[in-house]
Amino acid sequence: MSEAGSGRPTTIVLDCMGSDHGPLEAVTAAAQLSIARPDFHLLLVGDDAQLSPMLDELEYDPGRLSIRHTDQWVAMDESPRGVFDRKPEASILVACKIVSDGRADAVVTAGNTGGAILAAALGLGRIPGVRRAALAAVTPTEQTHGPNQDPFSLLLDVGATLSASARDLVTFAIMGSAYASAISSNPAPSVALLSNGTEAHKGPAEVVQAHRILAGLSEVNFAGNVEGLDIPRGSVDVVVTNGFMGNVVLKMLEGIGEVISDLAQDAYARKFLWRFGLTMLSSGLRQIQRALDWEEYGGAPILGFAQPIIKAHGRSRAKAIANACKVAAKASRSDMIRVIERAVARIPDEDGEEEARTRDP
Amino acid sequence: MSEAGSGRPTTIVLDCMGSDHGPLEAVTAAAQLSIARPDFHLLLVGDDAQLSPMLDELEYDPGRLSIRHTDQWVAMDESPRGVFDRKPEASILVACKIVSDGRADAVVTAGNTGGAILAAALGLGRIPGVRRAALAAVTPTEQTHGPNQDPFSLLLDVGATLSASARDLVTFAIMGSAYASAISSNPAPSVALLSNGTEAHKGPAEVVQAHRILAGLSEVNFAGNVEGLDIPRGSVDVVVTNGFMGNVVLKMLEGIGEVISDLAQDAYARKFLWRFGLTMLSSGLRQIQRALDWEEYGGAPILGFAQPIIKAHGRSRAKAIANACKVAAKASRSDMIRVIERAVARIPDEDGEEEARTRDP
């Protein structure tokens, strides 16, 4: 871990392989950052036969950018099950191992999500006390959040842990709080459990139990339960749920964005006034689209591992990957991992927790 | 059960008590229907000291409307737990018992949802083979559904059964299909499970198991899994999930409606062009609002009981309650209950089902 302003740059390992648009986006991002950010070092992992010719066409600072060759990687549509037995030198696993060996500070990838989670578990290792990882994503909100007035809140888990026990949900609350604090400079983000009612007794057993634990945990600015309508409103900074629910919620928001976009195109074809109406509304729609736009926010952190790892969207262009690198560096320079480790150690061992765990598939 | 066009009218028992706007809305709906619908008989359950003076002010057909007095009812904010021990003559329980005694065909209430579900369990009894009830609601969609081109699909469960086993989910699929078929004249509505991916192996264990059972059940037009983005799109006619997920999804849609409405008001105050844009968009927004509007669609069926029961929204006005009565009559005159009973009897007893049941809280 390095500090901003100190001598040593922050080294970001960039997995260049397996994304939708090929390695050029990651290579371009790295080349630009090597010039623009003297506090960064970029270590590209991937097929040198592809990366070097791309680099030759770009302007970059060779003192701040290097390549670690491998000819194996996880394809976007490949099942992560057993993939690292078949491909022990897969780029994402190599990237994680470079960080855990202490030769770099954080990982960024735009490749296969399941592969990234598995590589982090194998290569980075979990923060002591964390049993399950969580993938966090931003969702657009009406209310703004934190000192930067961000028009979005953080939702986790969105797909790493389908069924979460009470202890997992408490851990996700701690991790979401620490990440939001590190990235958005909000010293005490408000954190809530997603449930079917605001009262403490509402929800499945694991949510009720997590509520009770969080109410007694001073490390989290716990706001109680929120309901579905609080997600678009943005009543809190961090919303905690299991990966099954979070996945459905996130994809619903994507779907609503698509429907708005379809309505606009449909209107264009059929009715000028509709189109005109959408143009009038465009500043509001732009705000919503910006919040949903991975290009602007640089990807989703995979939380629970001993070093930061950021999953950029598979469709990411160079700008999005560069933003993901900046977010990864910010997380690495913060005390996020130590904050999580300390808070997780304070989760009480409750009766019934083991029973709840055995209910997970 | 009575047939349309036959001699005997369909008798709807209307629980008049405990809704947000008081008994007048239900009384007004009943008075209007007693004149407009010679094929209906309305039986009002509630406090005669309130109902009779209201009725005296209205035009109605005394041959098609009667009152069953009770001075007990469940309040809107009352916990359903043990309420019928304290109030054995509560209006919703009396209403259900009148139907199960064969003196009426269906129940309509705008009162406490939990009270209605519990009263149905105690008063109506479950359809043989149905273990858990489901509350179904309509959600607005981009695509239209069925021969009436309805701009909405059916979502269940939205809050009756928080944790659903595989067998419960299969039962909900059967019930949602039978209800959609009865109400929207769609002979084979498409039905899908909500999951975190379209593949058969995606989702928690109970969803994977329900998928396998539904794939072999000819009674349901099973379309496989859908994801969160299919909810606003409206890819299928009926979406099946547990009550926890369904509640969050439904309230998220409500919240998004509110945000759109807030944006409009905010725009009015601050910027004329925004307001103008929303006006231009109004035909589209009206379509969305209409789909979310309980006034138009008459409420949510509570499925799984031996006779139809429709829960109108607590905020319902007379028009919404009258629509709920029409929906209740349509369900009663259809073969919905028999269709559900026959299909549920064909759910295979799978290994692991009992294990899955013990995981419910």
The pLDDT > 70 percentage for chain B reads 84
Pairing of strands A300-303, B134-145: unpaired
CA distance A335 to A135: 19
Select A1-125's CATH number: 3.30.70.3460, 3.30.1490.190, 3.40.50.920, 3.40.718.10. 3.40.718.10
Statement: residue B278 has pLDDT above 60? no
Higher pLDDT, A282 or B323: B323
pLDDT tens-digit series, residues A178-210: 999 999 888 999 999 999 999 999 999 999 999
Whole-number Å distance between alpha carbons of B245 and B222: 20
Band the pLDDT of B351: cuts 50, 70, 90: low
| B53 residue type, one letter | P
B204 vs B356 pLDDT, higher one: B204
Neighbours of B358 (CB within 10 A): 8
User: Which candidate, B80, B99, B137, places its Cα nearest to that of B15?
Assistant: B99
In this structure, which amino acid lies at residue A5?
Answer: G
The answer, yes or no, to whether residue A264 has pLDDT greater than 60, is no
Cis omega (within 30 of 0) on the bond before A262? no
pLDDT for A3: 44
Task: For residue A249, list chain B residues with Cβ-Cβ distance below 8 A.
Answer: 228, 248-249, 252
Cβ A315 vs Cβ A21: under 8 Å: yes
A64-83: pLDDT as tens digits: 999 999 999 999 999 998 99
The residue written with tokens 């991992």 in the block is A337
8-state DSSP, A90? B
Average pLDDT, chain B: 87
pLDDT at A47 over 80: yes
Secondary structure of A252-311 in HEC code, one letter for each residue = HHHHHHHHHHHHHHHHHHHCHHHHHHHHHCHHHHHHHHHHHCHHHHCCEEEECECCCEEE
B contact test, residue of A112, A113, A252 with most B CBs within 10 A: A252
Task: Inform me whether the pLDDT recorded for A354 exceeds 60.
Answer: no
Mutate to test the interface with A, among B229, B260, B287 (most CBs of A within 10 A): B229
Share of chain A above pLDDT 70, in %: 84
Backbone angles phi, psi at A334, to 5 degrees: -85, 175
Radius of gyration of chain B (CA): 21
CB atoms B229 and A244 under 8 Å = no
- Please give the average per-residue pLDDT across A80-98, as a whole number: 96
Rounded distance between C-alpha atoms, residue B84 and residue B91, angstroms: 10
Rounded mean pLDDT of B157-161?
93
Strands B309-311 and B300-303: antiparallel
Alpha carbon distance, N-terminus to C-terminus of chain B: 36
pLDDT of residue B275: 47
Question: Dihedrals φ, ψ of A94, to 5°?
Answer: -60, -45
Residue numbers in A near B162 (CB within 8 A)? 196, 203-204
Nearest by Cα to B309 from B319, B317, B299 = B299
**Strand B309-311 relative to strand B10-15: parallel, antiparallel, unpaired?**
unpaired
* Single-letter amino acid, residue A125: G
Q: Which of A249, A279, A280 sits opposite B228 (nearest CB)?
A: A249
Looking at beta carbons, which residues of chain A come within 8 Å of B204? 162-163, 244, 361
| Block residue for tokens 């499970």 | B193
Look at residues A96, A107, A91, A101 and name the one whose alpha carbon lies nearest to residue A11: A107
For A270-307, letters b (16+ CB in 10 Å) and e give eeeebbbbbebbeebbeebeebbebbebbbbbbbbbbb
Could you tell me which residues come within 8 angstroms of residue A226 by beta carbon, excluding any fewer than 6 positions away? A192, A193, A194, A195, A198, A235, A236, A239
CA distances from B249 to A104, A194, B242 (A): 41, 11, 11
**Which of A225-229, B32-36, B348-352 is least confident?**
B348-352
Tokens of A202: 């509402």
Which candidate, B310, B335, B306, B331, places its Cα nearest to that of B321? B310
Q: For residues A267 and A263, give the distance between their C-alpha atoms in angstroms, rounded to a whole number.
A: 6
pLDDT at A284: 54
Contact B258 A230 (CB under 8 A): no
Q: How far apart are CA A110 and CA A132, in angstroms?
A: 22
Q: Taking a C-beta distance cutoff of 8 angstroms, is the pair A115, A92 a contact? A: yes
In angstroms, what CA-CA distances link A324 with A248, A265, A319, B45?
Answer: 24, 31, 9, 62
- Three-state SS for B238-264 is EEECCHHHHHHHHHHHHHHHHHHHHHH
Query: Two tokens at B108?
Result: 């309509």
ipTM, two decimals: 0.84
pLDDT > 70? residue A323: yes
Answer yes or no: do A262 and B142 touch at CB < 8 A. yes
Name the token pair of A103. 């030769």
Q: Do A162 and B203 touch (CB under 8 A)?
A: yes
d(CA B140, CA B289): 8
For residues A15 and A96, the answer to whether their CB atoms sit within 8 Å is no
DSSP A237: S
Q: So what's the pLDDT on residue A269?
A: 47
Structure tokens of B34?
């007693």
**Number of CB atoms found within 10 A of residue B296's CB:** 14
What's at B8, amino acid-wise?
A: R
CA atoms within 13 A on the CB side of B286: 6
Which residues lie across from B147 on neighbouring strands?
none
Going by C-alpha positions, the residue among B336, B281, B277, B274 that lies closest to residue B303 is B336
pLDDT higher than threshold 70 for residue A22: yes
Q: Return d(Cα A107, Cα B148) in angstroms, integer.
A: 53
DSSP conformation letters of B59-98: ---GGGEEEEE-SB---TT---TTHHHH-TTBHHHHHHHH
CA distances A20 to A43, A71, A74, A289, B173, Å, are: 20, 17, 12, 21, 36
- Mean pLDDT for A144-155 is 83
What mean pLDDT is reported for chain A? 87
Q: What is the pLDDT of residues B249-262, one digit of tens each?
A: 999 988 877 776 66
The one-letter amino acid code at A82 reads: G
Identify any residues that bridge with A109 across adjacent strands, giving them in sequence order. Answer: A15, A311
With beta carbons less than 8 A apart as the criterion, state whether B68 and B98 touch: yes
Contacts of B283 in chain A (CB under 8 A): 274
Cα(B245)–Cα(B81) distance, integer angstroms: 23
For residue A266, the model assigns a pLDDT of: 57
Backbone phi and psi for residue B186, each to the nearest 5 degrees, phi listed first: -95, 110
Q: Could you tell me whether strands A150-156 and A134-145 are parallel, antiparallel, or unpaired per DSSP bridges?
A: antiparallel
In this complex, the residue of B196, B233, B256 whose CB is nearest that of residue A232 is B256
Inspect the interface and report whether the beta carbons of A196 and B243 lie closer than 8 Å: yes
- Across A290-294, A303-307, B135-139, which has the greatest mean pLDDT? A303-307
A32/A35 Cα distance (integer angstroms): 6
Cross-chain CB nearest to A274 (options B162, B276, B281): B281
pLDDT value at residue B2: 43
Q: Which residue, chain included where needed, has tokens 């009812």? A: B73
**The pLDDT of residue A353 is above 90:** no
pLDDT at A143: 81
Burial A337-348 (b: 16+ CB within 10 A, else e): bebbbebbeebe
- Any idea where the domains of chain A sit in the sequence? 1-125
Cβ pair A196:B361 closer than 8 A: no
